[in-house]
Structure 1
Amino acid sequence: MPNWVRSYVRVIDRISDWAGWLAASLIFVMVATLLMDAVTRNVLNIPVHWAIELTQFTLAAYYFLGGPFTLKNDDHVRMDLLYASLSERGKARLDLVTIWCLIFYLCVMLAGSISSLQYAIATNEKRFSMWNPSVIPIKSLMVVCLVLMLLQAFSLVFKHVAVLRGRPIE
């Protein structure tokens, strides 16, 4: 594979690792927020109305940021009935077919999320709750993470082609 492909794969894999590390650290934010909510509500008798909603936003960010990392590490759900019995080249061939389905799906999702973000920006969309937060930050993160997943999907295409050529990229 050309050097630019190897560099692309290396950079995108690093970005996906960073996104995964960031996603993992959000667990601590969620736990701290829920713990603070429990203490203020039950011990101090001062309910914090924004804590549950902040935790929901953080959980959404956790899922979005975990996507590229999951793709990179091949940790997604797969039906192994046929796949497990294939050779490495057979797996690469099958993965090349299915990755294009994923890329199509991600493109549709990206188009929808960009449209949703544009609407949120144009209307200054907010959640209907006591806290009334803007949804622009979480929708922006959704767009960024879908782009990262697309970039990681193309990285996987390059990796599978390299396996088929007999020179895997690691």
Structure 2
Amino acid sequence: MLPPSPPLGGEVLRMNEGIKRVFELIDTITEKIGRPASLLVFIMTAVTTLEVVGRYVFNHPTTWAWPLNRQIFGLFILVAGAYTMSKGDHIRIEIFYGHFPPRIKLIARLITLCCFVTFMGVLVWQASWMGLNSLKMGEKITGAFRMPLYPFKILIPIFAFLFLLQGIAVICRRKD
């Protein structure tokens, strides 16, 4: 005689606990990357200050400040977006959403999830190709300052993927 199989609800509960652990891992990774990445603001500020002082005080502008700041800012936006999303601090239009019945809220969440996953998925996919091509070519910024561009282009799909995972976790966990 075979032992009785566990009830379906038990299997679903274990799966939910597994998903919950995955979501907690995503939160932890976002936290560990997001806090140090906040220091990038100070680096961008220092670079901008050096450029302004060099340009207006010494009449000797840099060739590297703005290209470097653009690359740092692009990475910062992706990491800050994931971090802000993990904290639930993105702006919501509660004036509408708060008055929706539960079924409409669920539909709105599903539409949001589909749009978010589509956009971020395309970003990860395309940025991955661009990053790999940039690495193969050893791409550098054009102009007088030939800063390597490929390290930044390699990090874009990685941070975009983290943002994608964080968004899925937040949207799926939301209870209202």
TM over 0.5: yes
Q: For residues 15-164 of structure 1, what are the structure 2 equivalents within 5 Å?
A: 15-86=29-100, 91-160=105-174, 163=175
Stretches of structure 2 lacking an aligned partner (at least 5 in a row): 1-12
Deviation at 1:83, TM superposition (A): 1.0
The count of corresponding residues between Structure 1 and Structure 2 is: 162
Deviation at 1:114, TM superposition (A): 0.9
Identity of aligned residues (%): 23
Contact 2:135–2:154 (Cα < 8 Å) also in 1? no
**Partners of 2:150 and 2:82 in 1: how far apart?**
21
Stretches of structure 1 lacking an aligned partner (at least 5 in a row): 165-170
| Partner amino acid, structure 1, of 2:135 | I
| Partner amino acid, structure 2, of 1:102 | F
**Partners of 1:75 and 1:14 in 2: how far apart?**
17
Judging changes above 3 Å, is the alpha-carbon distance between structure 1 residues 75 and 45 closer, same or farther for their aligned structure 2 residues? same
**Partners of 1:47 and 1:101 in 2: how far apart?**
43
**Partners of 1:118 and 1:83 in 2: how far apart?**
41
TM-score by length of 2: 0.78
1:107-128 deviations in Å (ceiling 9; x for gaps): 1111111111122122222221
Select the structure with the greater relative contact order (CA < 8 A; seq sep ≥ 6).
Answer: 1
**Partners of 2:101 and 2:58 in 1: how far apart?**
61
SS of corresponding position for 1:130: coil
Judging changes above 3 Å, is the alpha-carbon distance between structure 1 residues 5 and 50 closer, same or farther for their aligned structure 2 residues? same
